[in-house]
A and B are shown apart, each in its own frame.
Chain A
Amino acid sequence: MSQAITKVTGTIDGRGFSVPIGTTLLEAAKSLGLTIPTLCHHPGLPADGNCRLCLVETGGKLVASCLFPLRTDGEAILTQSPMVLEARAFTVRLLLSRAPEDPRLLELAREYGTGPDPRLADGADGCLRCGLCVRACRASGTEAIALVGRGRERKVTGPFFEPPIDCVGCLACARVCPTGFIDFSELPRSIWGRDFDLRPCPQCGRPVGTPEELRRAGVENPLCPSCRRLSYSRSLMGLPEASFSNPGER
C-alpha cells in the first residue's frame, strides 16, 4: 500500500520548496520568487539549455536549471554560489562576444563584472545561437530554419544557407529573439532575405497576412478581423450583407 509520490522537496538558496515531480529547477526557483537570469528560455517553448545563463549548482555540479527536472527529494540548490557566479560571468563574457551591444547582456556584464573577450571579436554578429527562433518556428508548425554547423561555424539559416523556402513570414522567430538579431519588416512583409505578398482583405483591402501563413492556419481567403466582426454582426442583427464601399462603417 504505497501512496504515489507526486511532490518533490528540497531547498534553493536555503529556502524550502515542494513542487510536483518533474518540475524544472528554473520553475521551482520562479515559484519561490527567485530570479535566475535566462536568455534562451521561453515559457511557451521547450527548453534547450543553449545560452547557459541559468546554470546553478547542485551536489557540487553545475546544471542548466531550465532543463533540470526535480525528481529526488533533498536537492540543495545554490543559485549564487562562487562556482555559479564564476561560470555565469564566463558565460556572459562569451555571449557578449557574440552580441556586444545587446542592452540585456551589457546589464548582465555590469552585474557580473565582465566584458567581451577581444579575441572573439570577429564573431560579433548579434546572434547568440540560442535557437529560440528555431524552436518558435517548429512550434508554429513550420520548420523553415535550423541551427547548422558546429562551434564558430554555427548559425541559424534556411536549408543550403539560402532564404528558407518553407518560411511563411509569420515573424514569430523575430518576436522571440532575445537580441533582436533577426531583421524583418511587417509592412511590406520580409524576413530571412525573403519578400512576401500580403493578401488583402476581400472587402476593405487591408492586408490580412501572407498567403503562406493563411494556408498554414487553414484559411484561404479570409476577411480581416474587423470585417469579420462587421460581417457577423450584420447577420446577427438581421441586416442585409454590407456593401463595403462605405469607409464610415467599421
Chain B
Amino acid sequence: MSSHADVVVISAGIIGASVAWHLSEKKVDVLVLDKSDPCSGTSGACDGMVFLQSKKPGVHLAMAMAGRHRFDNLARELDAEIELRCRGGIMAVTSAAELAAVTRFIQEQNRAGLGVSLLDARQARDLEPCLSTDIFAATFCPLDAQVNPIYLTLAFLDAARRHGAKVLSRTPVMDIRITPRGVYAIDTPRSIIETRTIVNAAGVHAPEIGKMVGLEIPITPRRGQILVTGPMPPLLSRCLISAGYVAAKYDPDIAGTGSMGISIEQTARGNFLLGTTREFAGFDTTASLTAAKKILSRTQAVIPGLANARLIRTFAGLRPFTPDGLPILGHVSSRPGFIMAAGHEGDGIALSPVTGQIIAELITGTTPGISLTPFHLERFFRGTVS
C-alpha cells in the first residue's frame, strides 16, 4: 500500500508537533509519523520551563526572544489548557565567585534586550519567600515562564489534526529511498509514503533518520534526571535555576566555581520537579538514586522547605545534544526537500513555537524572520565533502 503527503514530519515530539500544527494552519497536507506514541520521548520526560535567562547571548538568545511572545496567545490559538504561567524566572546565585560570572553573563543578555535584573538576597526572598537565607543573590527575568510540556505537545497535535493533519502513532520509519521520479519513499510497516518534503524532528533519534538518506547528524543523547515530589501547597511561584545550571550548560567562567546546575519548578498540580543531571550514557534512561541524592541535597539547600516533601517518582529524559549547543534547523543543501528540526537539547519546549513557525515558513516559501545560517547542519562539516 502506498500513500502520499506533501510533507512528512518524522516524530511526534514537541518539535514535530509544532511543525505539523504550523504547517496545517497554512493548509499544507502534512503527515506525522512516530515510532511510538506522541510525546513518548524527550518531550514527555522533561520539565516545562520556558527559560530565557539560561540562553547564551547570541543567536540562541535572539531566537528564544523572538519566539517567546508566541507563548502568550498559544493556549487560545490551540484551544487547549497548557498550564502556561508567565510569572518570570529566577536564577539563584550561591557564591561571590558565581556572582561575578553571572554579572557578566546578564550584562550581555541585557545588551541583547532581555531585561534581567540583579537582586540582592533580601529582594530575592521578597519575591520568593521559600528561598534559603544562604542565597547570595539572584537574577530575575520577567519573561521566563512555565508550561506543561506534555499538554503543549498534545495540544499542538490535536490542533494540527483539527486542521487536517494526519498522525500515525506506532509507525516507525524503516527506510527512506529516493524513487526514480525523484521523490522520497518512506518505508513503514504499514505502508510506503511518498513525499517531496521530509522534516526530521526525531530529536535524539534524528541521526538514525539522517543515516537513511546518507547524512551524518551530530546529535547525541544527554541524559537528564528529574525528581518528582508529591503535590505540595504553593511554595514557589516562579521557575528557578541555579547559576551552576548555566555553567553546566556552557559557560566555562561559571563552571569554574564547581557548582552543579539545578532547576526547580512547582507544577500547576503542586508537584515539584527537581533537576537535573547532564550525562552522556547512550540511550539508557534509568534513573539512579545516587543522582537523586545529589539533586535533593542541592535543591533543598536553595529551598529548605523541600525537606518536608515526599519523593514519589524519578524519570530520565534524553536531551538531543549538539556539539555547539545550537539546534540543527533548515534545509540540507545536498538533500533537497530534507529539512532538519532537531537538536534543541534542553530548549525544545521553549523553542518549539518559534521552531515550528520557522520550518513552516521555510516550507511554504516565506523567508523566516530569523537567519538560519548558524543553525544549518552544514556548519558541522566545514572542510569535509558531503
Q: Please indicate whether A and B come from the same complex rather than being unrelated chains.
A: no
Q: Could you tell me which A residues sit within 8 Å of B by CB distance?
A: none
Q: Could you tell me which B residues sit within 8 Å of A by CB distance?
A: none
